[in-house]
């Protein structure tokens, strides 16, 4: 099956810093999403981005489908950005059967 | 509008016991999913359903059964619990439209098997 690798596994930053999280995938995909899991375990979808670039406030994401990677940018980090960020993909069109990476744990210190 | 509700939130079982986890959604979504999340890992798909009365296997289905008798409910059963099934279980749902819809997740059920 498709492999999803995220880097770095852990990232510790001071409030106000910028960060870039990377997701590599082993095969072409029709669906790529970024999720945030907060410290209480709740999962929220951030972006649906199988290709191209999207922005939502301080967050933006870019997927280069031909090179099989996606990047999540967080600017001017806040303590509420802390948590685990997951990339998830689906190989071919279907019922959103997502394959998740292992995540990047982001800690923002005040 | 409660979204996706999982019951129970916590449970401790002994090896060999059985139990059912309930997922309920009030968004009239067609698709529903059960995932498990082990420490330090991403979610893995156990089973999913594309509509009332249908179920299908995901990435890690062994040791679990599911049922979707009503559109709003998706049940996950463990017939004979094993310590390897200790995990946090998440349910999710999404609709079927021309435009992409993200999966909405419940808050999780933390299950420990002793």
Q: Where are the beta strands (DSSP E) in chain B?
A: 4-7, 10-13, 19-25, 31-37, 43-49, 56-57, 65-67, 73-78, 87-94, 104-105, 109-113
Domain of B74?
4-108
Half-sphere exposure at residue A44, Cβ-oriented, CA atoms within 13 angstroms: 9
**If you average pLDDT over every residue of chain A, what do you get?**
95
- Contact: A98, B105; criterion CB under 8 Å: no
* CA gap A74, A58 in Å, rounded: 6
In a domain, B113, yes or no: no
Domains of chain B: total: 1
What is the DSSP track for B38-69? -TTS-EEEEEEESSTT--EE-SS-TT-EEE-S
Q: Which of B41, B48, B107 sits opposite A95 (nearest CB)?
A: B48
What pLDDT, in 10s, does the model give residues B17-54?
A: 999 999 999 999 999 999 999 988 899 999 999 999 99
Sketch the domain layout of chain A as residue ranges.
Answer: 4-109
Quote the tokens at residue B67.
């049922």
| pLDDT bucket at B72, cuts 50 / 70 / 90 | very high
Topology of domain A4-109 in CATH is: Immunoglobulin-like (2.60.40)
pLDDT computed for residue A108 by the predictor: 97
Q: Which residue of A has its CA nearest to B89?
A: A41
Q: Which residues of B touch A100 (CB under 8 A)?
A: 42-44
Q: Is residue B48 in some structural domain?
A: yes
Please name the member of A41, A96, A98 whose beta carbon is closest to the beta carbon of B107: A41
């Amino acid at each position: 099956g498709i492999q999803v690798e995220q880097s770095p596994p852990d990232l510790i930053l001071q409030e106000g810093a910028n960060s870039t999280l990377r997701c590599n995938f082993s095969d072409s995909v029709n669906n790529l999403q970024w999720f945030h899991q907060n410290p209480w375990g709740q999962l929220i979808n951030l972006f649906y981005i199988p290709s191209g670039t999207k922005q939502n406030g301080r967050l933006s994401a870019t997927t280069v489908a031909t090179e099989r990677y996606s990047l999540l940018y967080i600017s001017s980090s806040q303590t509420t950005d802390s948590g685990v960020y997951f990339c998830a993909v689906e190989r071919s069109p279907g019922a959103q059967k997502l394959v998740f990476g292992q995540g990047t744990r982001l800690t923002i210190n005040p | 509008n409660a979204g996706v509700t999982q019951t129970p939130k916590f449970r401790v079982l002994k090896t060999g016991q059985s139990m059912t986890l309930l997922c309920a959604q009030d968004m009239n979504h067609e698709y529903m999913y059960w995932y498990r999340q082990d420490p330090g890992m991403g979610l893995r798909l156990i089973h999913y359903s594309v509509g009332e009365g249908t179920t299908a296997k995901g990435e890690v289905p062994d040791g679990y059964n599911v049922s979707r008798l009503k559109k709003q409910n998706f049940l996950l059963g463990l017939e004979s619990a094993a310590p390897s099934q200790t995990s946090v279980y998440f349910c999710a749902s999404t609709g079927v439209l021309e435009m992409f819809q993200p999966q909405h997740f419940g808050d999780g059920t933390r299950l420990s098997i002793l």
